[in-house]
């Protein structure tokens, strides 16, 4: 089996999707430079330090993407169990090899490299869940949903145990999106979601969350309750977005970033810097580009040549959509602060590589949506 895509397949690439991703990655590098160039504590004196790391991650992701699109995605269905087992093992390895950062045990550090297994595991879980659901015609009963839920709850529970609640919560919307696309009874899905919100969520709040995680939820409801502590990030983020107005302060002119008032302004809160420097219109344009990528992802799902491919595309796209909504909402205090990166734009190699590998899978499905004519 060739690991390099043939030319006749490359002609079937979704070029608008590829162009949108390229623009977002390049724009992300530009904004990371703007957010960090005046902060030697982050860059070590080299204003291009984090940009170089982001560009290196993008180059590695691009090389890996060519390998991904060179393998017929349908072959992954036969390997789904092994991919799932590997994903679970990768997450478990964090308990033995991981380092704790800001309360979360989510990273494995290898010298200068920091790897976040949960980002890659999301793709593995999507593949495993899609392979299972593709073989099931009847998903109209509660019993028929037990196995799909277990497939997702196992990695979700492991990530929760690592105190990485934000990454864990991404699994749930992805599960329900894929179940709906697979033909599950919508009323049953609504019932399960309602039960989770009314029963599981309160139980988790009182018995499963750590004190600082509960405080984040309270601060989301009232940031002013701890303005110099847990509410500080949100307050500074809202100030940054508000000060941008319609047109922004100008590229490189973010006071929240340059004066280091806003923590994590190159990672979790990069959208705040975008809004402050480029204003409402600039931020809206960025969101429009991200939503265009999401639109193309769902279009690929609808045009897939088989059930497995369609479900993989739905899972990958839904995961990306959750990241966009939660991250942008967090910066505007319309969702709790969870530390979820903004796809393509937040600094971070694991997030960028995993997201681009997901895009490669979407391209793989799109390229093989029909029989190739010689």
Q: Band of the pLDDT at 43, cuts 50, 70, 90?
A: confident
How many degrees, rounded to 5, is the angle at CA 209 between CA 203 and CA 215? 110
pLDDT of residue 371: 55
pLDDT in tens, 295-323: 999 999 999 999 999 999 999 999 999 99
| Structural domain contains residue 69 | yes
- Whether the full predicted model's pTM is greater than 0.75, yes or no, is yes
Other CB atoms within 10 Å distance of the CB of residue 355: 28
Provide the domain count of the chain.
1
Q: Does a structural domain hold residue 374? A: no
In a domain, 373, yes or no: no
Tell me if 281 is assigned to some domain. Answer: yes
Residue 355: predicted pLDDT: 97
Q: Does some domain include residue 372?
A: no
Q: Is residue 257 part of a domain?
A: yes
Ranking 57-66, 110-119, 171-180, 338-347 by mean pLDDT, the lowest is 110-119
Kindly state the average pLDDT of the residues 346-353: 94
pLDDT at 243: 92
Range of the domain at 239: 7-367
Please, is 301 exposed, middle or buried when counting C-beta atoms within 10 Å of its C-beta (0-12, 13-18, 19+)? buried
* pLDDT tens by residue, 136-153: 989 989 999 999 999 999
Considering the domain boundaries, does residue 78 fall inside one? Answer: yes
Q: What is the mean pLDDT of residues 192-207?
A: 74
The reply to whether 274 falls in a domain is yes
Worst-scoring range by mean pLDDT, 8-17, 69-78, 204-213, 248-257?
204-213
């Amino acid at each position: 089996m060739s690991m390099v895509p043939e030319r006749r397949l490359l002609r079937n690439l979704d070029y608008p999707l590829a162009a949108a991703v390229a623009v977002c990655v390049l724009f992300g590098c530009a904004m990371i430079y703007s957010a960090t160039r005046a902060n030697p504590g982050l860059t070590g004196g080299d204003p291009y330090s984090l940009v170089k790391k982001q560009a290196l991650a993008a180059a590695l992701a691009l090389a890996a993407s060519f390998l991904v699109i060179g393998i017929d995605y349908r072959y992954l269905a036969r390997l789904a169990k092994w991919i799932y087992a590997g994903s679970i093992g990768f997450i478990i390895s964090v308990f033995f090899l991981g380092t704790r950062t800001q309360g979360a045990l989510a990273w494995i550090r290898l010298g200068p490299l920091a790897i976040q297994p949960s980002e890659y595991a999301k793709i593995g879980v999507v593949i495993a869940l899609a392979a299972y659901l593709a073989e099931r015609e009847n998903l109209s009963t509660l019993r028929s949903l037990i196995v799909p839920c277990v497939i997702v709850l196992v990695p979700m529970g492991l990530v929760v145990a690592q105190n990485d609640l934000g990454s864990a919560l991404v699994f749930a919307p992805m599960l329900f999106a894929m179940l709906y696309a697979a033909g599950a009874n919508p009323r049953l899905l609504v019932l399960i979601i309602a039960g989770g919100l009314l029963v599981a969520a309160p139980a988790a709040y009182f018995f499963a969350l750590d004190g600082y995680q509960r405080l984040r939820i309270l601060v989301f409801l009232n940031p002013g309750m701890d303005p110099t502590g847990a509410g500080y990030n949100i307050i500074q983020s809202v100030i940054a977005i508000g000060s941008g107005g319609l047109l922004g302060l100008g590229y490189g002119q973010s006071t929240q970033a340059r004066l280091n008032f806003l923590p994590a302004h190159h990672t979790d809160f990069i959208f705040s810097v975008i809004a402050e420097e480029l204003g409402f219109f600039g931020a809206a344009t960025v969101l429009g580009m991200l939503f265009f990528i999401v639109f193309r992802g769902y279009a690929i799902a609808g045009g897939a040549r088989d059930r497995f491919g369609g479900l993989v595309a739905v899972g990958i796209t839904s995961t990306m959509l959750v990241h966009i909504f939660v991250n942008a909402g967090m910066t505007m205090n319309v969702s709790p602060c969870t530390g979820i990166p903004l796809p393509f734009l937040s600094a971070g190699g694991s997030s960028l590589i995993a997201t681009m590998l997901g895009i490669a899978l979407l391209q793989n499905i799109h390229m093989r949506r029909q029989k190739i004519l010689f």
